């Protein structure tokens, strides 16, 4: 890795972390996801196809790591449920104050969106990716990116209208 590539990688880190925070519910999980994605990227550094497309390549690795981890967790939870009758009856653990605070900082409407829509919205609207770059990063067709983006924007508008609409009172 030369100095130019190292500088590009360092400049991309804040955007990668924002993307990971959007996907994960926890800052520590997001940091772990970024670290895992960077380990994967550095191990495959010389095998990159497009040398000039570093940012979409890194986002693609991060998103795929996130999806893989979600699938792995789903498999383990199914196995736990099969082998433990208590798994369904266990109470949820009390969240730490840091998690409560972080949860309050997030936008409620944004958090209501499905992860696929959040990912597309963040890449296009916040990170400035084009539709083609976002499609490459997420591994989906460009039409899917456009459709998810449209649905996400429509849902955010609907949630915004619900929150800003004046309450109507019925007078008797």
Tens of pLDDT, residue by residue over 74-113, are: 777 765 665 554 444 445 567 777 755 444 544 677 778 8
- CATH class given for the domain over 107-164: mainly alpha
- pLDDT of 165: 47
- pLDDT of 139: 92
Q: For residue 6, give the 3-state DSSP assignment.
A: helix
Query: What whole-number distance in Å separates Cα of residue 18 and Cα of residue 109?
Result: 17
Query: What whole-number distance in Å separates Cα of residue 96 and Cα of residue 57?
Result: 34
Q: What is the largest CA-CA distance in the chain?
A: 75
Query: What whole-number distance in Å separates Cα of residue 49 and Cα of residue 35?
Result: 22
pTM for the whole thing? 0.54
**Digitized pLDDT (tens) for each residue of the chain, 172 residues in all:** 678 878 888 999 999 999 999 898 888 999 999 999 999 988 888 777 666 778 888 999 999 999 988 888 877 776 566 555 444 444 556 777 775 544 454 467 777 888 999 899 888 888 888 899 999 999 999 999 999 999 998 887 887 666 544 444 444 4
Per-domain residue ranges of the chain: 1-106, 107-164
Do 152 and 120 meet the contact criterion of CB atoms below 8 Å apart? yes
Query: What whole-number distance in Å separates Cα of residue 167 and Cα of residue 145?
Result: 35
- pLDDT of 46: 79
- pLDDT of 126: 80
- pLDDT of 153: 87
- pLDDT of 164: 46
């Amino acid at each position: 890795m030369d100095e130019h590539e190292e500088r590009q990688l360092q400049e991309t880190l804040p955007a990668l972390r924002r993307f990971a925070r959007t996907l994960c519910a926890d800052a520590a999980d997001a940091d772990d996801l970024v670290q895992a994605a960077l380990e994967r990227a550095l191990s495959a550094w010389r095998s990159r196809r497009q040398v000039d497309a570093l940012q979409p390549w890194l986002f693609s690795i991060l998103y795929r790591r996130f999806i893989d981890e979600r699938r792995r967790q789903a498999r383990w939870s199914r196995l736990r449920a099969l082998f433990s009758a208590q798994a369904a009856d266990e109470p949820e653990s009390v969240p730490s104050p840091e998690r409560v605070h972080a949860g309050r900082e997030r936008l409620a409407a944004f958090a209501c969106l499905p992860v696929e829509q959040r990912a597309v919205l963040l890449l296009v609207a916040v990170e400035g990716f084009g539709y083609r770059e976002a499609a490459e990063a997420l591994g989906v067709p460009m039409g899917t990116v456009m459709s998810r983006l449209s649905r996400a924007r429509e849902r955010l508008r609907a949630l915004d209208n619900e929150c800003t609409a004046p309450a109507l009172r019925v007078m008797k």
